[in-house]
Structure 1
Amino acid sequence: MKTRKLGKTALDVPVLSFGASSLGSVFRDIDRDEGIRTVHSAMDAGMNYIDVSPYYGLTKAEAVLGEAIRSLPRSSYTLSTKAGRYGEHEFDFSRKRILSSVQESMARLHTDYLDILFLHDIEFVAPEIIIEEAFPTLLELKEQGVIRYAGICGLPLLLFEKMLPQLNADAIISYCHYALNDTSLLSLLPLLKEKGVGLVNASPLSMGLLSTRGTPAWHPASNQVKELCLQAAQFCKEQGSDIAKLAVQFSTANEQIPTTLVSSASQRNIVNNAAWIEEPIDQQLLTEVLRILSPLHNESWPSGRAEYNVNYNITSNASEEEQR
């Protein structure tokens, strides 16, 4: 599989990488053996950068992934996990918790170092917590050789615009902002290039928006967004194609985006995803799908503290405890 350089790091990552959230049964119940087989299929297909988090399945994803990779040479894959978020409303970015979290994650993953450690969904806590305590802890771990690179992740793009000038981050994970319905991530590329920050793009299907199955009830998008995305997915089906194929091809085609994470616990889906990016994109189909989606282009939803969501009429969707 084609690879690209991840920012200023020494990492070459595949254009399509494996997001291991599915191993935590966050989309559907899976068993350990099914998860292990899927990871091995991803590796066989060249998807040898894997991202996970203790939050996914409340540590189940890390545990299953650890079983899948423990028999593989450590040099054969790039591994990232996260710290700071441990439940739907459970955040702890203290130095003490990050240090213990990393040790717990490495034990589950059967490794003695992490290629990248990301602070997970930092838009839910006050910025000074990240700047003064959490990120310096990552730099400490980096100096010790426990992690190779340090990064941050979250949903609002304004989060990165505000935080990256204040942090010496090696990489970020941005999700749902470079897909068929939303390419607003492009506005962040100049800053990333200036800082030499590696970009990991996640969720090319916009957390299930781009699917004929319909969007999950929990999805925070507006009804209009859900309806138009479903209309686009059904149009692809009527043309004998799959919007997932178009979405994956679209997200991986941009040379300025080093890698895109996809998550599935299905071997078949992973094999298909890897095969799709080797095929030429159907430009006529793409043009029509983008036309269908044009009324909602770049429409997103708020996440976290109000200061990162100034384009939305909200106070905040974080609890008082999360904001402290």
Structure 2
Amino acid sequence: MPLPPTYVEGFHDKESVLQMEYTDLGKTGLKVSKLSFGGGPLGGAVTYGEYLEEEAINTVREAIRKGINYIDTAPAYGQGRSEELLGKALAGVPRKAYYISTKVSRYGRHWSEMFDRSEDRILSGFDQSLKYLGLDYVDIVIVHDVEFGPMEQILNESIPAAAKLIKQNKARHLGISAYPIPPMCEIIEKSTIPIEVIISYSRDLIFDNTLQEYIPFFETRNIGIINAAITGMGILTLEGPPAWHPASPELKAICKQAAEYAKVKGVELSKLSVGHSLEQPGAHSYLVGMTERKILKKNLNALKGLSEEEKFILREIKQIFFNSGKNLCWEGKEISAYKKFLESNNS
């Protein structure tokens, strides 16, 4: 397999890069690694809990050195903390070695002011993001969580503002993100400015294959597909999800039982979840949040595929815990869940 355009002699672990799979991200011209680096957990306590800064910095650098060449973050992750941490981690890393995206139109922790889709806020917020990151530009600017609306403002003000950033050479490509997929499809069909990338998250999981229904829609338009949060934002881990997680108590309980069952069988549910998602067709890259090198190592190992024994345990878990015949998700509930959590945290 040829080396990707992001390869830098003397910086990368060449053998690891040669083992990584790279795919063209739609029509962007970017060739992204199958496993990519999510900056959500770098936001700290409010999102996924605290971490050791030095270890997180080393994890970012090691991930790039091992061939992960796409990083995603957002100002909403810890009120800029994720971007700041990445700025420290990327200092001294060759700019050619990675692609990076950050987001616009979601800021802060207070529900009443969180979503500001206006052009002025997007332009000023993006300049702050670049300052935190220590960069002159990012490769992709993402309009964040479009399902929260309002749709008309996103179409008529937010996306044009993001396009202006591209004209100013502060970003190169334009994308959108959401949990429910239909709002992204609607924007793609209605926008007069082409959307090049979508970030879907907590899909193609052990209990939810919703993304697969929409892959043909995106493929026919040559749109890059990033599938993020493939442990369901922590719900498919032994540690369990954070307090704000919008899944129902019933689904959380089922996933906890599945995690404990996997532990008894000698395997981590998170590995089975990541392994399952990586085998699903359609997405160009799979975004996973990481703050420690031991987690990075586990995820890189998952790229090699599950063992036959692990596949057998995964089939057992699907049969025992997730055999309802329907997708299990929190679509339609995430907005009220986030609002309730934020209001209680800031009261």
Q: Hey, what does 1:134 align to over in structure 2?
A: 158
1:222-261 correspondence to structure 2 within 5 Å: 222-261=248-287
1:153-232 correspondence to structure 2 within 5 Å: 153-167=177-191, 168-232=194-258
- 1:104 corresponds to which letter in structure 2? Q
- Shift in Å at residue 109 of structure 1? 0.7
TM-score (norm 1): 0.90
- Shift in Å at residue 297 of structure 1? 4.1
- Shift in Å at residue 128 of structure 1? 0.6
- Shift in Å at residue 230 of structure 1? 1.5
- 1:201 corresponds to which letter in structure 2? N
- 1:18 corresponds to which letter in structure 2? F
Whole-Å Cα distance in 2 between the matches of residues 317 and 58 of structure 1? Answer: 16
The list of structure 1 runs, each at least 4 consecutive aligned residues, that deviate by more than 6 angstroms after superposition, is: 316-319
Q: Hey, what does 2:176 align to over in structure 1?
A: 152
From 74, 78, 87, give the equivalent of 2:95: 74
- 2:166 corresponds to which letter in structure 1? K
- Shift in Å at residue 139 of structure 1? 1.7
Whole-Å Cα distance in 2 between the matches of residues 305 and 220 of structure 1? Answer: 5
- Shift in Å at residue 176 of structure 1? 1.0
From 160, 167, 177, give the equivalent of 1:143: 167
* Residue 36 (structure 2) pairs with residue 12 (structure 1): no
Q: Hey, what does 1:286 align to over in structure 2?
A: 314
Whole-Å Cα distance in 2 between the matches of residues 12 and 175 of structure 1? Answer: 20
From 125, 128, 139, give the equivalent of 1:115: 139
Deviations 1:113-148 (A, max 9, x none): 110010111221210101001101122222332211
Q: Hey, what does 1:46 align to over in structure 2?
A: 67
Whole-Å Cα distance in 1 between the matches of residues 186 and 102 of structure 2? Answer: 23
Deviations 1:224-276 (A, max 9, x none): 21121112212211211111111111111224111111112111111111122
- 1:9 corresponds to which letter in structure 2? T
Q: Judge conservation of contact 1:41–1:271 (CA < 8 Å) in 2.
A: no
How many residue pairs align between the two structures? 311
Q: Judge conservation of contact 1:124–1:305 (CA < 8 Å) in 2.
A: no
Once the two structures are overlaid, the 10-residue window that deviates more, 106-115 or 35-44, is: 35-44
- Shift in Å at residue 317 of structure 1? 7.6
TM-score (norm 2): 0.84
Whole-Å Cα distance in 1 between the matches of residues 326 and 297 of structure 2? Answer: 29
* Residue 320 (structure 2) pairs with residue 301 (structure 1): no
Q: Judge conservation of contact 1:125–1:305 (CA < 8 Å) in 2.
A: no
- 1:147 corresponds to which letter in structure 2? A
- The alignment yields a C-alpha RMSD, in angstroms, of 2.1
From 102, 126, 130, give the equivalent of 1:102: 126
- Shift in Å at residue 294 of structure 1? 2.2
Please state whether the residue corresponding to 2:238 is helix, strand or coil: coil
* Residue 85 (structure 2) pairs with residue 57 (structure 1): no
Unpaired stretches in structure 1, ≥5 consecutive residues = 307-313, 320-324
- Shift in Å at residue 278 of structure 1? 1.3
Q: Hey, what does 1:310 align to over in structure 2?
A: none
Q: Judge conservation of contact 2:146–2:176 (CA < 8 Å) in 1.
A: yes
- 1:196 corresponds to which letter in structure 2? N
Q: Judge conservation of contact 1:210–1:229 (CA < 8 Å) in 2.
A: yes
Whole-Å Cα distance in 1 between the matches of residues 40 and 339 of structure 2? Answer: 22
Unpaired stretches in structure 2, ≥5 consecutive residues = 1-19, 341-347
Distance 1:53 1:267, change over 3 A: same
More relative contact order, 1 or 2 (CA 8 Å, 6+ apart): 1
- Shift in Å at residue 303 of structure 1? 5.0
Whole-Å Cα distance in 2 between the matches of residues 70 and 137 of structure 1? Answer: 28
Q: Judge conservation of contact 1:52–1:61 (CA < 8 Å) in 2.
A: yes
